[in-house]
Amino acid sequence: IQMLADLHYREQAFENAFKQYHLLIELCATHPDLDEFTVTLRHALSAMQLKKFDVAYRSLMIARTLKDDNFEVNYNLGYLEFMRKNFQKAVPYLQKARILEPEHPQANRFLGHSLFRLKKFNDAAGALRRSLDHVPDDKESLYVLAQTYFHLSKNDLSLRIFNHLRTDPNIGARASLFSGTIQMKNRNYGKAIEDFEIGLRHENIQIEIILEIKYRLAAANLAQSDIGQAIHLWKEIKELNPKYKDVQDQLNKYQEINTNRNLQVYLISSNSEFVTICRKLTTSYFSRANTKIMNIALPGDEYVDLFTEVHTRQWEDLILFRFIRSTGQSGELMLREMYSRIKELKAGRGICITAGDFSESAKAFVEARLIDLVEKDELFKLFSRLPGRPPAAAS
């Protein structure tokens, strides 16, 4: 029987080999001259070829109790655990297999993929590089290696691989999503748009990938002040999935912004343009007044403070203007911080302006303090009083 089983195995007649080795396993207990380890291993490997994976797993586990330092046993157990997504169990088997055959491409491949799933990125990168040394055209492993570099903040290495993979018909869309995301982080919005558009040109893309590419492409266009294109993309996303992320909120916000050039400048233009329009709003806020701007403070992207000296025929005062760059609700904390700033400057009063609104607690806070609150509707009236006609809004 053994001679027949070995013949079938060598000739890759695995169906017959599997049956013969199955008979031999039952004879091992009464025939000590049989090599139980080899019989059990070949039974398992024949089962693997026949895709009888549960049977193969059981025989491999038995074989490992007989000999735990065999490459085929450890590699195939690791592979089976990997296919079952038991990555924690796969790693020790594959690590043992790699010790036995350090340059084996597939052992390194599945080890690298398993370590990546376990978020052990440094170790994953080493295993994947070793695998790719032997199989450089393994696109899936290249893609995982690029993700590994991304998680290790090695964005230059990551970007190089993703750019190489962007045109691949199978993983190009996913690679384009990642490369565009890295370009967004680097504020290279033009390159990000190019990457995302390459991704969308692929066929048979998973719907979740399409949605995310369009969502990030909209953000890149918005960063380039192309509100019209961003709105177009959000509408496309809404048609595919009406509840995707904050798309409806973005549409509500930016469709209004798109019709008002002053509001666009106030909310999404560069900081220098934002400060310029705030200077105009400040000097035109009091009619028939001489408003001198003494100091401008822009601590971040959230707001700008303009400290002014205002003279009219009836009164004069030091006033702190604060312009909040948001369409959301501003709370009490913002007003408390502003009040402290007013006292530091020894200003007589403050005026806080937002493109959104103020919370009830914020309004309660200023009731006994000399701070006027200006919300969105009043801001629009201030825009209408600005000298000159603003540039046309984007369509």
Same domain, 185 and 272: no
In sign, the C-alpha dihedral spanning 49, 53, 57, 58 is negative
Same domain, 220 and 369: no
Given this model, what pLDDT does residue 85 score? Answer: 97
CB of 270 closer than 8 Å to CB of 278: no
- Single residue among 234, 257, 280 that ends a domain in this structure: 257
Same domain, 307 and 251: no
Same domain, 154 and 132: yes
Same domain, 188 and 51: yes
Cα gap 154→53, rounded to integer Å: 38
395 within domain boundaries: no
Same domain, 218 and 270: no
205 within domain boundaries: yes
109 within domain boundaries: yes
**Amino acid identity for residue 89 in this structure:** K
- Single residue among 208, 229, 257 that ends a domain in this structure: 257
Range(s) of the domain holding residue 200: 2-257
DSSP for 349-372? EEEEEESSEE-HHHHHHHTTTTEE
Given this model, what pLDDT does residue 153 score? Answer: 94
Same domain, 233 and 311: no
Q: What's the CATH number where 29 sits? A: 1.25.40.10
Domain total of the chain: 2
Q: What's the CATH number where 302 sits? A: 3.40.1350.10
Given this model, what pLDDT does residue 389 score? Answer: 52
Same domain, 222 and 335: no
124 within domain boundaries: yes
**pLDDT tens over the chain, length 395 residues:** 566 667 777 887 888 888 887 878 777 767 777 778 988 999 999 999 999 999 999 999 999 999 999 999 999 999 999 999 999 999 999 999 999 999 999 999 999 999 999 999 999 999 999 999 999 999 999 999 999 999 999 999 999 999 999 999 999 999 999 999 999 999 999 999 999 999 999 999 999 999 999 999 999 999 988 999 999 999 999 999 999 999 999 998 898 888 888 998 999 888 999 999 999 999 999 999 999 999 999 998 899 999 999 999 999 999 999 999 998 899 999 999 999 999 999 999 999 999 999 999 999 999 989 999 999 999 999 999 997 655 444 43
- Single residue among 257, 275, 293 that ends a domain in this structure: 257
pTM of the model: 0.74
Given this model, what pLDDT does residue 36 score? Answer: 86
39 within domain boundaries: yes
165 within domain boundaries: yes
Same domain, 227 and 357: no
Given this model, what pLDDT does residue 356 score? Answer: 93
Same domain, 28 and 174: yes
291 within domain boundaries: yes
157: Cβ contacts below 8 Å, ≥ 6 apart: 146, 149
389 within domain boundaries: no
Same domain, 96 and 184: yes
Instruction: Look at residues 366, 322, 370, 363 and name the one whose alpha carbon lies nearest to residue 348.
Output: 370
Given this model, what pLDDT does residue 395 score? Answer: 36
Instruction: Look at residues 151, 388, 145, 168 and name the one whose alpha carbon lies nearest to residue 284.
Output: 388
- Element (H or E) spanning 279, and its range? helix 271-285
Same domain, 227 and 319: no
